[in-house]
Structure 1
Amino acid sequence: MPEVTCDDTGTAPAVTAEIQGALDAARVQVDSYSTAVAALSDAVSAAESAASAAPASPTTPDTSVDAAPAGETPQPPTGQPAAAAEGSAATDGATGEGTAAADATPAARRSPMVDPDNDNLFRRVLTLPNASLHADVTDTGDGTELPVFDLLYVFDEALAGGENWLEVGSSLREGTSGWIRTADTLKWSSMLVMNFAPRGSRGQVLFFDDATVLSDMVNSPYYSSEAAELYDRIRAEREKVQADPAYQPVWVRELVAIEPETAVTFDNQPYLLPILDWREEAFDGADETVLLKVAAVPANASAIAPRDEKSFEVSADSSAARNDGVFRIGVTFVIDTTVSMGPFIDRTYQTIESFYNAFQQFETTQNVSFGIVGFRDNIGNNPSGLEYVTRIFQPLDIEADPATVLAQARQIREATVPTVGFREDSFAGIQAAISEMDWKPFDARLIILVTDASAREGGDPLAALASVTSDTVADGANRSNIAIATLHLRTPANSADFASGEAQYRVISSTGDAAVQKYVAIDATSDEEFGRELDTMSRTLAQAVVTASAGEMINSVEALEPIPAEGSSGRLAAAVRNEIFRAQLESLAAANGGDAPTFLAGWAADKDLSDPKRRALEVSVFLTRNQLSTLDKRLDLIVQAYRSGGDDPGAFFDKLQVLAAETSSDPDKPIPEGRDIVASILPTFLKNLPYRSQVLRLDREYWSSISVAARQEFIESIDGKRRVYGELFNDTKKWVDFGADDPGLEATPVSLRNLP
């Protein structure tokens, strides 16, 4: 460029004028580019909003860490979740997955702070009752009140007026909203929550103020008696209050709260138990457990204190005495009606008849309803002879009288022709009972499966329902609050098939109270043992309904009746009684407002302190629609890699390595080896959970060591989880908007048992 000087008047020579003209022209061009960029930015934002509700293809390689890239909108397979994309190719804005370095938001859009304990997560908080949003830290007014459970990203923090403040926003797209006092929030970057496990046979959860006290109890050889002493102290103080209302109780000071005796369920009484910290321990060095630091925030909480004194006061007995509602039981028999089942079909009819006889004796027939589903198998080879795969003989109907139900039960006949192989489609029968019966009027919900054959599942071409496994059946029953009991008939003819069926039916028979196995093997060389089990159960049910209708507890919360050992007579009746007791506790909570306790922080064990074989708390993780969609797509990629590689374990892992490279957000990152291969394909949030992931432990050596059948079973289990995701994604009642006003940011708790 030539040297430019000005004359005495300050006028630039011609060359300067030429340069100035070029600069002016450049500025016009830059302004034009800026206008175009702004228009493009607006178009991208509009596309992102549109994509929030648009499905993303689960077969398209996902180049993001945890979200579907914007603009991928092909229709997904039926029943599979659709993505609500957040428009970042490196992070999932809905979930905060990724690091600040990976953030791809425009420079004008600020990123949230990275969580100091986990650089894979953005920093997030939950609002407590009475939290309010302020324009800045100098705002001394009341501010704008925020809803409890509002989930906010943290963009900055400051100290002002002796208080700590956080600058927050509900969405990455919208940026910051204002400032909130740190004291009015709970740190919750992980999105992990605990839910109370179904009640029944287990004791109440105790929440400790000090983790050391709980740890010492768990590690003691006398943990059960020490827990019993705490329960006794609470009960003794409660009895003193009942005897003298003026008495000032001295509750157990080591505790901040106790779970109510009546059962708390998320559907009836929404609550959050966000996980703040955790550590692994073992009961007396044997049974593993996880100690969890949680807060307890019921949805209707108006204030939260360090300790919940009221949680110690209410007993289930007093709730039962106040309850004047009708307690209803719905029982659906799902019966194998293939060849060889004739004697057991007849005996089932007699059992239903004995049910009614027992209830008529107690004048409680109006409180119990029966449904009947028959199932056979694929009718392709002989449609006229087999007639049906499933048939509803009697729907659940609170208006149906005994004569009608018995008349319909009389219509059940065994098939006149055999099916292909020994397996039958019992899962199709159970699915019909779950989805086609009206369970809404019933407090206690029971399915009783009667069969002598294992079930078709997974990729079986003769199965009526694709991708159905024992896990998906159990999940569907649990989501409908239905417990399944199985009477598995053992005969000389099914000796080769029996073990396979037992493994399947034990999974579905752990529904309801998972601590009580409701699988019962029956010697079917005659129908006598079968009849005894059902007759005992009919009497037990009748007595339970009479007790509940009289305003009394079916079982004692203080001294739960033991369940007979497997193989013992009467086990089915005891297990069913326990399920009705569980339903009574839930019914009382719904009728009398059995809220979860409320406290800022407390420590609890995820296993029952009296018996660590029983689960007391179940961990779930709140996943957004974006996360669930991405997880589904990544698992589908793994399934397709297996199916395209045949039985060669090496070919499968070679394909996984290619997938790991394709889905990596860092093209310069070395190709992973060992367990890092699968870990690099799946979303990062899976690696940060306090429980071990089955899929993340996969490596080439392990995969090569297991049989072809075991590999197929593993892949079918993944496919089964994807089916659960599809059903969950379409269940709109389960999704919560945490204030982001964006379909992609809606979240729902997903149990760890449904994660890979």
Structure 2
Amino acid sequence: MLKTLTMATALALLPVIGLAQSAPERRPLLMAGKSTLEQRVLTRPGAVPVARPGDDAPEGAAAIPPLSLLFVYGRETAGGEDWVEVGRGGRSAPVGWVPARTVIDWKQNLVVAFTDRVNRNQALFFKDGEDLRRIVEEEDAGAFARDTLTAIQTGTLAADAPVIAAEPPAHVDISRQFYLLPILDWQEVWFPDGFQALALNVAATSEGAEAPETAAAPEAPAPEADVVAEGYRTGVVFVVDTSISFDRYIRAAERVMTGVRDRLVKEFGPAAPRFGLVGFRDVMEDGSPDGYVSKVFAEPVADPEQADFLTALGRLEASKVSNRDFREDAYAGLRTAIEGVDWGDTEGRFVVLITDASPRTGAEDGGASGLGTEQLRLLAQANRTAIAAVHLETPAGAEDHARAAAAYRDLTDYPNIGSLYFPVAGGDVAAYEAVVDRLATTIAQGMRPDLTPADVPEVEAAPAPAPVAEALERTGLVGKAMRLAWAGAQQGSRPPELFQAWVADRDLANPASKALDVRVLITRNQLSDLQATLQAILDAGEATRIAPGDFFGALQGAAAAMSRRPDRVAGAEARRLADTGLIGEYLEGLPYRSRVLELTEDDWLAWSFGQQREFLDDLAAKIRLYRAIHDDADLWIALDDDRAGGEAVYPIALDALP
């Protein structure tokens, strides 16, 4: 079911509770120059609705909670002051008039989310955008950030300092505690070393907070590591290749996983990581599967002895027949592990792929996942899951190694940390067992940061090769990031209590690391509409493959059939896909470059058949990603109990947009 916000968790985002609603339906005002986007505002502290513009608020009247998202139904001037009539939209009637000075116009549903607090410093919030630009472009931003954080922590920040607050020390995970940091404006800025960043003007408030004049006091430090880990649970689902070429590695997997299970259960007892198991194959020459393409053998249930997992290992068998080529449908197995497994109460979630072949993507014939590399990575991130890949570079797959390595490095790239890709040279069985053992041990150590590698004995093996050692180090950082996110939720960590400020989306001291992700707060209805739109573009592309010159004409026909902005569809005006009126206006003007919106008819005709095919395949993969997000009720947030399910929202990443 949909998540419903409360005042305790939503940073006073909720629309007004208890304001009267009446039957007459009125539509909010449209934004200037738009035909579908309605005017929206965010409330400042002290916005008290009255019946008519210019009226005095009744004594004791309740103010609308700060940062409530409301629609505009009217604008008037009364008593020398501008007034705005506001309401919740949908079938609700306006709730009243408020002074224009008590609201902020919000032109786009842009929000920011804090990234994991690993490999970066706390973000700093500036009073003025020009101060932020000056620090980034002209001064040593790293030294400034370090000095400022020290001053905030010691309470010695000067009253005239350009910074008014810092991000909390404990990570605020938007997937666990939804919060609203709306973007009111943005500018591009450049660090001296060439890194580009976005300077974002954001608004934020906690319940009852007023805009501070000085830096916010630092929150209490996070608990000690061993206390933080108490109650924290990690789940690991192994996704194992069960094709005929992987036969000897399955039994090796059974040996090493049984040993890992025995050692970790002894070390951690009931708190040991919970293991699950998924098998995957590919279809045979005739297009039919040998039993299955992906199958759940065991789920990461709360079982101290891991009996189900051990039994499942014994039932894991390789196919007896060859599939159509060397590649396997690894993405089908991974998607099953992410979405088709009951993770229970686990908070640290790892999916470990074990294979000797490159993946078959959803864009290709036989790719059961329906997703490409980028879409599968975004789906894993939406479900708070990290993917690691153990790739056995066997002699039989020599021609496939480069393709597999490229795909799995991209797939396992964890934000701000890097790739969790583990190559096993030559497919050596002993090296393979050592990698799986070390990987499982590293993941387990994420629950007990006080543990050192010497505390958990490893199998006897040579020192790990550099790529494996580096990937193990990154895996440990991912485990730490997951644990810190969980700890922040336990502490009730919240964004700073400030009202309006400027912040960079990159770490000032290390601009290679992102501090903030820009996202679009999209409604379920809008995502459904976007999915239908991309399907119309895909259908037009498929229908005109033989005559590509007809593609844009087909798009105009699709736009007219969907009855969206018909005034911009007719004639030869639509030279870009954005001009056809197919793509919703809510995607226009965002701080990203859309390959779809910017596609011109000349580009399309200049592309080769393969480039056109790649473009359409990418659309198909995005459609499947949107469908997966749309159908996962746990991802959606209802802004209040009365809103229809279609008005629930999800902060979708810019990378997921077309």
* TM-score normalised by the chain length of structure 2: 0.84
Distance in 1 (CA, whole Å) between partners of 2:159 and 2:175 is: 30
Once the 2 structures are TM-superposed, how far is the Cα of residue 491 of structure 1 from its aligned partner?
Answer: 3.0
Once the 2 structures are TM-superposed, how far is the Cα of residue 130 of structure 1 from its aligned partner?
Answer: 5.1
| Structure 2 residue identity aligned to 1:127 | T
Once the 2 structures are TM-superposed, how far is the Cα of residue 271 of structure 1 from its aligned partner?
Answer: 0.9
**Aligned with residue 405 of structure 2, among 494, 502, 510:** 502
Tell me which residue corresponds to 1:28.
none
Once the 2 structures are TM-superposed, how far is the Cα of residue 180 of structure 1 from its aligned partner?
Answer: 1.5
1:265 aligns with 2:183: no
Q: Secondary structure at the match of 1:681?
A: coil
**Aligned with residue 306 of structure 1, among 212, 215, 224:** 212
In our comparison, the structure showing a higher alpha carbon Rg is 1
1:608 aligns with 2:507: yes
Tell me which residue corresponds to 2:368.
464
Once the 2 structures are TM-superposed, how far is the Cα of residue 324 of structure 1 from its aligned partner?
Answer: 7.5
| 1:342-491 equivalence runs, <5 A | 342-356=247-261, 358-359=263-264, 362-364=267-269, 366-378=271-283, 381=286, 386-402=290-306, 405-465=309-369, 467-491=370-394
1:534 aligns with 2:427: no
Deviation digits for residues 505-564 of structure 1 (CA, Å, limit 9, x no counterpart): 2343125x35422223331342344334333334433443333699xxxxxxxxxxxxxx
Tell me which residue corresponds to 1:39.
none
1:139 aligns with 2:56: yes
Deviation digits for residues 200-242 of structure 1 (CA, Å, limit 9, x no counterpart): 333322212222222123224743343333334445x17xxxx
Q: Secondary structure at the match of 2:499?
A: strand
**Aligned with residue 600 of structure 2, among 699, 710, 717:** 699
Deviation digits for residues 331-352 of structure 1 (CA, Å, limit 9, x no counterpart): 1110112122234333333432
| 1:553-632 equivalence runs, <5 A | 568-632=467-531
1:339 aligns with 2:244: yes
Distance in 2 (CA, whole Å) between partners of 1:537 and 1:251 is: 49
CA contact (8 A) 2:265 2:304 kept: no
1:124 aligns with 2:32: no
Tell me which residue corresponds to 2:543.
644
Tell me which residue corresponds to 1:203.
121
Distance in 1 (CA, whole Å) between partners of 2:409 and 2:490 is: 33
CA contact (8 A) 1:257 1:307 kept: no
Distance in 1 (CA, whole Å) between partners of 2:468 and 2:362 is: 34
Tell me which residue corresponds to 1:283.
191
Once the 2 structures are TM-superposed, how far is the Cα of residue 322 of structure 1 from its aligned partner?
Answer: 5.9
Alpha carbons of structure 1 residues 313 and 170: separation in structure 2 relative to 1, 3 Å: closer
Q: Secondary structure at the match of 1:545?
A: coil
CA contact (8 A) 1:194 1:618 kept: yes
Distance in 1 (CA, whole Å) between partners of 2:181 and 2:85 is: 24
Tell me which residue corresponds to 1:32.
none
**Identity score, percent:** 30
Alpha carbons of structure 1 residues 660 and 125: separation in structure 2 relative to 1, 3 Å: same
Alpha carbons of structure 1 residues 457 and 547: separation in structure 2 relative to 1, 3 Å: closer
Alpha carbons of structure 1 residues 535 and 623: separation in structure 2 relative to 1, 3 Å: closer
**Aligned with residue 142 of structure 2, among 215, 224, 247:** 224
CA contact (8 A) 1:219 1:285 kept: no
1:721 aligns with 2:591: no
Tell me which residue corresponds to 2:85.
167
Once the 2 structures are TM-superposed, how far is the Cα of residue 401 of structure 1 from its aligned partner?
Answer: 0.7
Distance in 1 (CA, whole Å) between partners of 2:122 and 2:267 is: 32
CA contact (8 A) 2:234 2:444 kept: no
Alpha carbons of structure 1 residues 738 and 347: separation in structure 2 relative to 1, 3 Å: same
Once the 2 structures are TM-superposed, how far is the Cα of residue 592 of structure 1 from its aligned partner?
Answer: 1.2
Once the 2 structures are TM-superposed, how far is the Cα of residue 402 of structure 1 from its aligned partner?
Answer: 4.6
Alpha carbons of structure 1 residues 688 and 486: separation in structure 2 relative to 1, 3 Å: same
Alpha carbons of structure 1 residues 520 and 129: separation in structure 2 relative to 1, 3 Å: farther
Distance in 2 (CA, whole Å) between partners of 1:651 and 1:211 is: 47
Alpha carbons of structure 1 residues 731 and 353: separation in structure 2 relative to 1, 3 Å: closer
Distance in 2 (CA, whole Å) between partners of 1:472 and 1:676 is: 22
| Structure 2 residue identity aligned to 1:304 | E
Tell me which residue corresponds to 2:461.
none
Distance in 2 (CA, whole Å) between partners of 1:324 and 1:660 is: 53
Which runs of 5 or more residues in structure 2 are unaligned?
1-23, 453-463
| Structure 2 residue identity aligned to 1:291 | A
Once the 2 structures are TM-superposed, how far is the Cα of residue 690 of structure 1 from its aligned partner?
Answer: 2.0
* TM-score normalised by the chain length of structure 1: 0.74
Alpha carbons of structure 1 residues 208 and 500: separation in structure 2 relative to 1, 3 Å: same
Tell me which residue corresponds to 1:329.
234
Deviation digits for residues 667-688 of structure 1 (CA, Å, limit 9, x no counterpart): 7954224325655321122222
Distance in 2 (CA, whole Å) between partners of 1:493 and 1:670 is: 56
Distance in 2 (CA, whole Å) between partners of 1:216 and 1:326 is: 45
Once the 2 structures are TM-superposed, how far is the Cα of residue 273 of structure 1 from its aligned partner?
Answer: 0.6
Alpha carbons of structure 1 residues 656 and 684: separation in structure 2 relative to 1, 3 Å: same
Alpha carbons of structure 1 residues 356 and 167: separation in structure 2 relative to 1, 3 Å: same
The more displaced of 541-550 and 261-270 is 541-550
CA contact (8 A) 2:185 2:201 kept: yes
Corresponding residue pairs, total: 619
Distance in 1 (CA, whole Å) between partners of 2:475 and 2:43 is: 41
Alpha carbons of structure 1 residues 395 and 639: separation in structure 2 relative to 1, 3 Å: same
1:731 aligns with 2:636: no
CA RMSD of aligned residues (A): 3.3
| Structure 1 residue identity aligned to 2:349 | R
**Aligned with residue 749 of structure 1, among 648, 651, 658:** 651
Distance in 1 (CA, whole Å) between partners of 2:231 and 2:157 is: 34
1:150 aligns with 2:68: yes
Which runs of 5 or more residues in structure 1 are unaligned?
1-107, 239-247, 551-564
Distance in 1 (CA, whole Å) between partners of 2:39 and 2:193 is: 36
CA contact (8 A) 1:444 1:583 kept: yes
Alpha carbons of structure 1 residues 542 and 723: separation in structure 2 relative to 1, 3 Å: closer
